Amino acid sequence: MARKINFINPFGTFAYDEIIHNTLSHYASEGTELVITHLEGATADPDYFYPKHMMEMQLFEAIQRSQEDGYDAVISGCCYDPGVRVGRELVDIPVIGPMEASLQMAPYFGRSVAIVTDHLKACEYMRDYAKVTGLDGNIRGFEVINWFIRDMIKDADAVGRDVIEVAKRTVEKTGAEAIILNCTIIAACYQTYLINGGAPADVPVINPNLMALKVAEPLADLRKANAYQISRVGYYQQPKDAHYRSVTEKTRKTWVEVQSVLQKTFG
């Protein structure tokens, strides 16, 4: 079955597109057209929460355009899982978050996991977000490699080596049986390190980009087979009456109208 999936790098730069393509596209199943895109008119650095929220507004538009452009599923390519829950309110195609997908797939790799993320702020965010997903029961601990993404792509092999070191230390400290890399760019750098001949970690290291893709593909197939729908009775309910529909429409219209200012600001 053919399927078209949009992996959106939710950063206002093309700087991460190539490393995601080079480390993920070969995992796509037969019939999958995997397109790597990025945001326009958004910050390239969503590490801090204020610019992250503006980035999410741009991401909501990209998610809606993905459905309108005929994509069968969309991946929000950051382990903050930005825009995923609001995106599910906005569209009917599956919207996948790499962190949620990793937590869902983790039991197939080990009875327990530890989370290795980029820096302390992200680590604290993930402690909260894991609870929100309801999938935090077998998380043994959280650790960081102390990198920001803008620096990671300058030396992917160094990031990979740090992953090995921190993963080893984390397993010894927590007793976790597997590691989730809680950053899409960490994962891409680690994969680059492996492609370049680096030795893998001693325990399973779960790649969130790959997990997101392997959740997106079957959900896309289910929807094409009329076997998938998202519930509209509660959390993902859409506005039913004309007034609230118009509020949603005006929100999108206003956001589209300010694109020229955003492009000027973020380039």
Residue 61, amino acid:
E
pLDDT of residue 267: 76
- Cα separation, 59 vs 41, in Å, equals 10
Can you give the pTM of this predicted structure?
0.96
Q: Encode the chain (267 residues) as per-residue pLDDT tens digits.
A: 899 999 999 999 999 999 999 999 999 999 999 999 999 999 999 999 999 999 999 999 999 999 999 999 999 999 999 999 999 999 999 999 999 999 999 999 999 999 999 999 999 999 999 999 999 999 999 999 999 999 999 999 999 999 999 999 999 999 999 999 999 999 999 999 999 999 999 999 999 999 999 999 999 999 999 999 999 999 999 999 999 999 999 999 999 999 999 999 997
Could you tell me the domains of the chain?
3-99+212-266 (3.40.50.12500), 100-207 (3.40.50.12500)
- Cα separation, 2 vs 250, in Å, equals 35
3-class SS shares of the chain: helix, strand, coil, % to 5 = 50, 15, 35
Question: CB under 8 Å to 125, separation ≥6 — which residues?
Answer: 49, 80
> What angle is formed at CA 259 by the lines to CA 253 and CA 265, rounded to 5 degrees?
150
pLDDT of residue 158: 98
